[in-house]
Amino acid sequence: MGLPVDAAVWELIDPDLEWWDETLLESCFPSDIVKAIKQIPLRGNEEVDTLVWHNSKSGNYTVREGFKSWLADFLRQEVVETQGEAEVWRQIWKLNIPPKIRHFLWRFMREILPTGVQVHKRYPRRSDRCPFCGLVETQTQTFCECQWVSRIWRRSEFTGLFQLKDDDSFYNWVKRALEKGEVEKFEGWCVLLWYLWKERNAHLFNGAKLLEEEIVVRAKYLLEDYKIHQGRQKEQLAIQERQVWKRPNQGRVSVCTDAGILGDEGAGLGVVIRDSSGRFCLAATKRVPGKWKVEEAEALATEFEAQMDVQGHFPNAVLESDCQVLVQKLQAAH
Ligand SMILES: [Zn+2]
């Protein structure tokens, strides 16, 4: 569930009631934000929606102000939590899962998800029943007891692995699961938890319903795709982490080679030559098709440099590459 990134404010307003669509708010935001939104009076819909930044008088956002308010929120949050709790949250924020799922987990552990019972407490006209089995919908019912959910857990690889003990809090449940130390499995479990909630909302609000086995498979693929994407980004970062450039001795030039993986488009190779004063002398780039590992691409860049016969033109050249593994191998070979 949740809103598309380009959703506008009017989408949160029920046109018939001319009031906030409270069910939708509950499903998209934590309760304190819902409360704040509901305090905003509505004056009909004659105005056009625009984006404003609430921390500045002009309503315009600046990175400086954004960072300041983020930092203030962050510090406030840290103070409230005890030492032990802070450590658990630190581990949660470190998980290799999509940020929205980390945020969901936080709400799950705080037990502030708008389940039937929670919503019914504040809006007695709203049903407190589970959309799947018709029983009273608590968080325990939603994630552990519901027949629909039980069938999904049984189809997953997590059966019996992370069991909720009677009368235990969801916070402790997650904490215990974390303590098992099987991080990858734990991450898979978190994604399935989130998917269950997503499907519950899709069913409640749109009447949509996926097959149970499909949910298990989709949750799995979602995490796999995310990890592949993250892995690619890390690889890119590793390439970008440059060594500090060392100035060559008087009269010599330094030759830097570098490479970048361009996904399906192959690898990009680059050679830069600078003199002892750091002045730029020459640069050349080249793209090679095919799939390459970081090390291979770095080696190709060195080969590219050799083809240009840099050493022939600049006999005093000092070769540099920011790929440590390659430099070590080359040094060992000589
Ligand atoms: Zn149910």
241: left (phi over 0), alpha (psi -120 to 50) or beta: beta
Distance, CA 133 to ligand 1 centroid (Å)? Answer: 4
3-state helix, strand, coil split of the chain in percent (to 5) is 55, 10, 35
Asked if the model's pLDDT at residue 245 lies above 50, the reply is yes
pLDDT digits (tens, 9 = 90+) for 42-89: 765 555 667 777 767 777 777 777 767 766 665 555 444 566 777 888
pLDDT digits (tens, 9 = 90+) for 253-302: 777 777 887 777 788 888 877 777 777 777 777 888 888 888 888 888 88
Query: What is the residue-averaged pLDDT of the chain?
Result: 80
- pLDDT for 202: 94
Going by C-alpha positions, the residue among 140, 146, 187 that lies closest to residue 168 is 140
- pLDDT for 241: 62
Asked if the model's pLDDT at residue 97 lies above 90, the reply is yes
- pLDDT for 78: 46
Element housing 259 (H / E): strand 253-261
Q: For residues 215 and 192, what is the distance between their CA atoms, to the nearest angstrom?
A: 8
pLDDT digits (tens, 9 = 90+) for 107-127: 999 888 999 999 998 888 889
Structure tokens at 13: 């307003």
Structure tokens at 81: 């939590």
Distance, CA 119 to ligand 1 centroid (Å)? Answer: 16
> CATH 3.30.420.10 occupies which residues in the chain?
243-333
Q: For residues 120 and 126, what is the distance between their CA atoms, to the nearest angstrom?
A: 5
Which fold does the domain 243-333 belong to in CATH? Nucleotidyltransferase; domain 5 (3.30.420)
The SS3 call for residue 324 is: helix
Please name the residue that has the structure tokens 């936080």. 106
Distance, CA 135 to ligand 1 centroid (Å)? Answer: 6
Element housing 100 (H / E): helix 99-110
- pLDDT for 273: 77
DSSP conformation letters of 205-246: HH-----HHHHHHHHHHHHHHHHHHHHHHHHHHHHH-PPPPP
Distance, CA 114 to ligand 1 centroid (Å)? Answer: 14
Please name the residue that has the structure tokens 């899962």. 97
Burial 32-69 (b: 16+ CB within 10 A, else e): eebeeeeeeeeeeeeeeeeeeeeeeeeeeeeeeeeeee
Average pLDDT over residues 131-147: 92
Distance, CA 134 to ligand 1 centroid (Å)? Answer: 6
Distance, CA 55 to ligand 1 centroid (Å)? Answer: 42
Q: For residues 145 and 148, what is the distance between their CA atoms, to the nearest angstrom?
A: 9
Asked if the model's pLDDT at residue 154 lies above 60, the reply is yes
The SS3 call for residue 59 is: coil
Q: For residues 280 and 100, what is the distance between their CA atoms, to the nearest angstrom?
A: 45
